[in-house]
A and B are shown apart, each in its own frame.
Chain A
Amino acid sequence: MSQSIAEATVRHVAHLARLTLTDDEVEQFTSQLAEILAYVRKLSELDTDDVPPTSHALSIKNVFRDDMIEPSRPPGETLHGAPDSQDGFFRVPKVLDQEVI
């Protein structure tokens, strides 16, 4: 079967998605994504040059409410699901002085 997507691409996409894949997963996803992408490419049979995109089935555009001040959820409640927090903040490893990208 022709591989339309390279393992290197799969590793790059995994990085973009913030996933670490095992070598087995890379191999598996490379062939499965190739198969799925080959299938979905049937859309290219259609001429859609003059067709507007639909991102949403409703015709609703913008939804506004009155600009009223409402109480926020207390910080404790916002943090209740956090795996780690301190002094009312989410706690993460040090992010400064580090190459993140």
Chain B
Amino acid sequence: MSARTTLKAALLLGLAAIMATPATAQGNQLSAYKQRVTLLEDQLAVENLTATFGYYFDKGLWDQAAELFTARGSLEYGQRGVYITPARIRQAMLLFGPQGLAKGSLNNHMMLQPIVVVAPDGRTATGRWQGMVMLAAPNENGKWGVGIYENQYVKEGGVWKFAKLHFYVTAMTDYDLGFAKYAIQMEGPSALFPPDQPPSEVYRSFPNAYLPAYSYRHPVTGEVLKDLPMEGDDILGRPDRGMDSSKKEVSSAAKGMTR
């Protein structure tokens, strides 16, 4: 190798080194941005999936709703127990009425206030949702209800699906009487289409208090929110958890809410 060739090669190598550094850095930047955009897109896809379930469920579109689950996906509604696989989920939903709902029925289950957290690897996600419920059936008075969804999602072949949909009914009442005077209790497991598993968490709805564990971490402190204070249930034998029992006074604000 002549001195001249060596010089040329050295120059080229040097140049390549200079060129490579910013190009690689920019490439890294781009792939980091791509991942951040993908996480935002995944969150939106999960939000749309859940909202779609809500729109199907409202109108008794059980066949369509069952298709939103993975092959081992599960549905759990209140204290009805756990139904696993789309075929059984479809059966469970028939307990709410026929496909397409019966005349005079209102089955609105609004899916609102999402906090969806996509795992950094982009394969799974969790979501807490506010479930507002408005029900009607022929020859019955209307009902108000509310509850919390804590769901799990999986991305399969680029498509987000429900791995687990769990609706914790919080409170249900008669439209005219309201929560000040009346509370409707949850239904238990069906004898007609028994669930695959009993309820995963046994609790009673309003006037009893139950706290479905938050799936996400505290947005500021990053703390896990699984064991926050909750009043116990004497019938179920569940003790108070983390409650400060020394202060039992009725609040001025609570007093102000009623005339």
Q: Do A and B come together as binding partners?
A: no
Residues of B near any A CB (own CB < 8 A):
none
